[in-house]
């Protein structure tokens, strides 16, 4: 009961702040934010007590927290938006023929969570799908919530209404050059040996202030929106990883595309989010690397030791 009261009071205080600075109220966020806070509170409880880890793949973890919190979110979203569909990471597929569809990641950053690293979040992204839209086509992203329960950071957005962090409007960075940028990436939990991303990681590290790999794509996107990172890229993400974050970055003034600079899809094999200022530079580097330009080889340990002798 105490937790529920805290959630209600905290959400109400935040919404009062939104209402004080916005010309019109959010449509979906008031209810979605409360749901995300409740889900985050459950994650904090699991985090404090510890959970048993299972494997969905060779290195793809899942915990009872993922499944329990997805069930909670399903119940709360169904009550708040009974006609909306829900597409969850842990298998939820409800009312997918409706006009609206929530993409739900109940715990983005499961590997961090399982190792007691306090960097993970709840991500809820809402897509509007007009009648007649084919299943393989994207509708319009209209709302997003990303909640970091360990830092109590609530990122929210609705189309045309900006991007917000704990009631304050956020904007993408104004940095104009990659060499002055801090950027982020991620690596696939499955088939990591088949991903070429280590080569991009190497080259972009040499051309920037650094590359971070913190293990939550949704929070990486939120950090681009908040101006903490200038860019984020990753291969083979899923709609529940990106739906909320894509809209958040766009509403913060950033840009989200594939690696060639073309329109990104929810099931895209490539996601590149930037502040917009370094977009062309990064797209150009991707083009040159995919074309096979030789930027130099990565020193292997054997050669390093030989060179030191």
pLDDT for the residue numbered 54: 62
d(CA 186, CA 234) in angstroms, rounded, equals 6
The pLDDT of 238-254, averaged and rounded, is 97
pTM above 0.85, yes or no: yes
Instruction: Return d(Cα 270, Cα 217) in angstroms, integer.
Output: 12
Residue whose C-alpha is closest to residue 121's, from 49, 10, 179, 40: 40
SS3 for 307?
helix
Q: Is 229 exposed, middle or buried (0-12, 13-18, 19+ CB in 10 A)?
A: buried
182-185 vs 210-212, strand pairing mode:
parallel
Asked if residues 149 and 197 have their Cβ atoms less than 8 Å apart, the reply is no
pLDDT in tens, 95-122: 888 899 999 999 999 999 999 999 999 9
Q: What is the 3-state secondary structure (H, E, C) of 222-265?
A: HHHHCCCCCEEEEECCCHHHHHHHHHHHHHCCCEEECCCCCECC
Task: Look at residue 60 in the predicted model and tell me its pLDDT.
Answer: 46
Q: State how far the alpha carbon of 16 is from the alpha carbons of 234, 237, 265, in Å.
A: 36, 35, 34
Compute the average pLDDT of residues 163-169: 97
pLDDT of residue 305: 72
């Amino acid at each position: 009961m105490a937790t529920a009261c805290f959630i209600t009071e905290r959400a109400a205080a935040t919404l009062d702040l939104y209402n004080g600075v916005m010309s019109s109220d959010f449509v979906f966020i008031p209810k979605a934010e409360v749901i995300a806070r409740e889900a985050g509170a459950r994650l904090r409880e699991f985090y404090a007590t510890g959970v048993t880890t299972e494997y969905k793949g060779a290195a793809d973890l899942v915990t009872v927290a993922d499944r329990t919190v997805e069930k909670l979110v399903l119940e709360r979203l169904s009550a708040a938006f009974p006609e909306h569909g829900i597409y969850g990471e842990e298998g939820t597929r409800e009312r997918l023929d409706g006009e609206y569809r929530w993409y739900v990641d109940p715990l983005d950053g499961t590997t961090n969570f399982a190792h007691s690293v306090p960097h993970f979040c709840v991500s809820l992204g809402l897509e509007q799908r007009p009648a007649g839209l084919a299943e393989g086509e994207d509708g319009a992203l209209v709302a997003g919530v990303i909640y970091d329960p360990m830092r109590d950071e609530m990122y929210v957005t609705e189309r045309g209404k900006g991007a917000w962090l704990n009631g304050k409007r956020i904007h993408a960075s104004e940095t104009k050059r990659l060499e002055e940028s801090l950027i982020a990436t991620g690596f696939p939990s499955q088939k990591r040996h088949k991903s070429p991303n280590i080569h991009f990681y190497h080259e972009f590290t040499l051309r920037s202030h650094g590359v971070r790999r913190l293990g939550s794509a949704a929070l990486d996107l939120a950090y681009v929106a908040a101006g903490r990172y200038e860019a984020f890229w990753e291969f083979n993400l899923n709609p529940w990883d990106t739906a909320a974050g894509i809209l958040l970055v766009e509403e913060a003034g950033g840009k989200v595309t594939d690696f060639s600079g073309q329109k990104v899809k929810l099931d895209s094999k490539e996601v590149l989010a930037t502040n917009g200022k370094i977009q062309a530079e990064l797209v150009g580097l991707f083009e040159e690397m995919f074309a096979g330009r030789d930027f130099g080889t990565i020193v292997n340990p054997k050669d390093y030791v030989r060179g030191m002798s």
